[in-house]
Structure 1
Amino acid sequence: MQSPSFIEEKLPVFSFPSSLNFYSDDQSSHKQILTLYNPYDFPLKFKVLCTAPQKFTVVDPEGSIRPQCCIDIIVRHNDITQNNYGVTDKFRIQVQEHGQHQFLGKKDISATLYPSKPDTNISSSAESEQFEQLSKQSMPMVQARQYSINGVQGRSNSGLSVIVILAAIVCIIALMLPTKGESVGSLPPYVHLSVHQKLIAAYTLGLVTMVIFRT
């Protein structure tokens, strides 16, 4: 695919979650996972910056994301102290196309430390924010995990596929049942379907078949 030269620092950056919340009394929350997505048909390079890099450890703050893939980044809060309660720092994600020096897009993500649970009345001043580059650090036996977006979507659609297949089976059984007025063996009258009901079953089967072939 031809590079998107028409994009001038307006490429949307997709990530989850939109903010990182750390809780002093919950040790499991001291390490968060930030997922970056690349829904485009070309690879992206990313860089993670922070307003307070001395407080956090970010595994692989720079890297690349393959087309139609996403990557998990581990963010650990290293300064769980009372002085930092209610303080909101920020991470900035910058992305660019491979081979290009100009950043195509950016997104800011807030990171707040709470003593036990979020307090919406506590906020920090947004004046004179200075984003600094994070040092490259690695944790033993830990690497950024990158996987296909289509694979995630496929798992979420598996439940829908089962429903479609069951609907097709029901329609086929309905078409195999005898029509009203026919005398077939010892089948009770209530399983004899009218012509109108069979037409509905045939029409529904056609729609379901189209869905199955598209998936």
Structure 2
Amino acid sequence: MNNHKVPVFVSPQSLTFSLDDKTSHRQIITLFNPYDFPVRFKVFCTCTKKYTVVEPEGSISASSRVDIVVRHNAPAPAFCDIRDKFRIQMQYYTTKKTIGHKDVETILVRSSDNFEPPAENFKQLPKSDFSADSYENDSDIRQNFSKSSSGPNYTTLLMAGICICGLLLQSSEETDIMKFRISFNLKLAFAFVLGMTTITILQHQ
């Protein structure tokens, strides 16, 4: 199996030592083995003179974990703000072939109160087609909305005119009751449609 193909589970991802806090000069890295077979591990460092690792190599049983102790041997101002790295390498237990590795970054700071972690690489989301940032202020937004919301269309006005004309017509004077009933029902329909169109016109004012 090639390197980096299998994930290596390590916690934490970074170590911060503080020059004025002696308790921070000794820290722990936890190695996890989530697999159903045992693995070996080895710990490497970019600057071995500055650190001591208790048991820098060993084995982890299946579905188990181990803690390794890391000590900073040179907590001096000259080494502040310098970033080093530990590399945790995992190997198959029998063949000792490398499974993968994980890097843990370390840094020595003058004071833990003033330490600022590296900035996250956040990226801005793409803007939508309609965004308030496209306008200088709220009045511009309202003005643009007013322009997009035009008044009642001509069809609505035409319907209102037809309904008004229908209501102004006199009722039929025929003696046939059926014809008179139809004329009356039509007037009711005209009144209903006129009311709906009036509401539509008022909403666009």
Place the TM-score, normalised by the shorter chain, in its bin. Answer: 0.5 to 0.7
Please state how far the C-alpha of 1:99 moved relative to its aligned partner.
Answer: 1.4
Q: Where does the alignment leave 5 or more consecutive residues of structure 1 unmatched?
A: 1-6, 123-215
Q: Are 2:2 and 1:8 aligned?
A: yes
Structure with higher Rg: it is: 2
Q: Using the alignment, how far apart are the partners of 1:72 and 1:62 within structure 2?
A: 11
- SS of match in other structure, 1:28: helix
Alignment match of 1:113 (pick from 108, 116, 119): 108
Q: Using the alignment, how far apart are the partners of 1:121 and 1:40 within structure 2?
A: 32
Please state how far the C-alpha of 1:120 moved relative to its aligned partner.
Answer: 4.4
| 2:40–2:96 contact (8 Å) kept in structure 1 | no
The one-letter code matched in structure 2 to 1:88 is R
Q: Using the alignment, how far apart are the partners of 1:50 and 1:70 within structure 2?
A: 21
Q: Where does the alignment leave 5 or more consecutive residues of structure 2 unmatched?
A: 120-205
- SS of match in other structure, 1:83: helix
Q: Are 2:77 and 1:82 aligned?
A: yes
| 2:90–2:101 contact (8 Å) kept in structure 1 | yes
**Which residue does the alignment assign to 1:32?**
27
RMSD of the alignment, in Å?
A: 1.5
* TM-score with structure 2 setting the length: 0.55
Q: Using the alignment, how far apart are the partners of 1:111 and 1:104 within structure 2?
A: 23
Alignment of structure 1 residues 40-59 onto 2, 5 Å: 40-59=35-54
CA offsets per residue over residues 58-101 of structure 1, 9 Å max, x none?
A: 00000000001000000000000001110000000000111113
The runs of at least 4 aligned residues of structure 1 exceeding 4 Å deviation read: none
* TM-score with structure 1 setting the length: 0.52
CA offsets per residue over residues 123-174 of structure 1, 9 Å max, x none?
A: xxxxxxxxxxxxxxxxxxxxxxxxxxxxxxxxxxxxxxxxxxxxxxxxxxxx
Q: How many residues align?
A: 116
**Which residue does the alignment assign to 1:139?**
none
Q: Using the alignment, how far apart are the partners of 1:101 and 1:71 within structure 2?
A: 18
User: Percent of aligned positions with the same letter in both sequences?
Assistant: 47
